[in-house]
Amino acid sequence: MQIQIVCVGKLKEKYWSDGVAEYSKRLGAYARLDIRELPDEKTPDAMSPAEEEQVRVREGERILAALKPDAHVVALAIDGDAWSSEQLAAHLDRQAVYGGGAVAFIIGGSLGLSPAVLARADKKLSFGRMTYPHQLMRVLLLEQVYRAFKINRGEPYHK
């Protein structure tokens, strides 16, 4: 199976990079992992709604260009469906068997995702109604994808 993570923004702190590296290594036994880190737009504190929308659109264009055309796309969005770890595992299992085996997860920038990216998404996944830093979301997502593979294989890890 191929897992692609398309994310806006760089990991600046070593502890985020270390977390991503650890779960990337662990996932190597289960899937081919491709992490596409895209540049974020500058977002000054005092932006108008129109300027914020322009930022989302520009970041969205880069996101859409990074996606593989045949990928099943899951956008991380606060208004998406909240799945359990078991539901994520079942979803990935279905995609591996029936969906062609390529899943792309999208983590947007600080202002969220553009309407065009949300329209391209096959599913919207929420990690809850709280807002998280996108660097933390990358680590959380990788851990949950790793957990899903462990669940699907019946291997110890998930409790």
Percentages helix, strand, coil for the chain, rounded to the nearest 5? 45, 25, 30
Q: How many residues does the chain have?
A: 159
Give the neighbor-by-neighbor strand order of the sheet with 102-107: 32-38, 2-8, 102-107, 72-82, 123-126
Residue, of 41 and 142, whose pLDDT is higher: 142
Q: Tell me the pLDDT of the chain averaged across its residues.
A: 94
- For residue 134, the model assigns a pLDDT of 86
- For residue 159, the model assigns a pLDDT of 65
pLDDT at 82 over 90: yes
pLDDT at 73 over 90: yes
Confidence class of residue 131 from pLDDT cuts 50, 70 and 90? confident
Residue, of 148 and 98, whose pLDDT is higher: 148
> How much is the pTM?
0.94
List, in sequence order, every beta strand (DSSP E) within 55-117.
Answer: 72-82, 102-107
Collapsing DSSP states into helix, strand and coil, what is residue 101?
Answer: coil
